[in-house]
Amino acid sequence: MKNKPFLYFLLLIPMIAESQLCAPAQRPVFERMFMFKDSSMITGYNYFKRHGVKFDSLTNIKLYNEVIKWIGVPYRHAGKTKYGVDCSGFVTQIYNLIYSRKLGGGAGDIFKLTSPIDKKDLKEGDLVFFKIRHSSISHVALYLSNNKFVHATTAYGVRIDDLDTPYYLRYYFSCGRIVPTEKKSQ
């Protein structure tokens, strides 16, 4: 496999050509933010694009930059680290890192911290709840955009899925928005 570096170079040619055809100033601001941080951000942007996640000027780039670091992390019951995470641990970590909100407990406990919203009103950062193999809430996911959500699955670890996938339609329970904490006046 002496030619391996050369093969990698051949794979990069289309990316290099694309970046030269569209000058950075002409690219949307969210794409530029992904592009120029480092090469992993280019990979991150392309990953989201391939999975149908759409960006606009309101996109929380910090959220997506954090989410991409978790993609592929294996499932571990009660896990909260990049060595292994479960659904509630993943949501808890994202909310702590991005929104500076401390959440805790399982999916059912997190559900109690939300205000219910309609599926059609979902916004980036809202939570989606499922009842899988239980009569109670057993799974939580973080909504991204364009009907896509990110979550920790037992089979594949952290990944992006679509709310209209038959499996998730079958087990969908509710959507919620974390209720803002009230600031105490002095």
Provide the annotated active-site residues: 87, 139, 151
Contact yes or no for 104/86 (Cβ under 8 A):
no
The H-assigned helical ranges of the chain are 4-21, 29-37, 39-50, 61-70, 87-99, 107-111, 166-171
Contact 175, 118 (CB under 8 A): yes
* Residue 141 near residue 148 (C-beta atoms within 8 A): no
Q: Which amino acid is at 91?
A: V
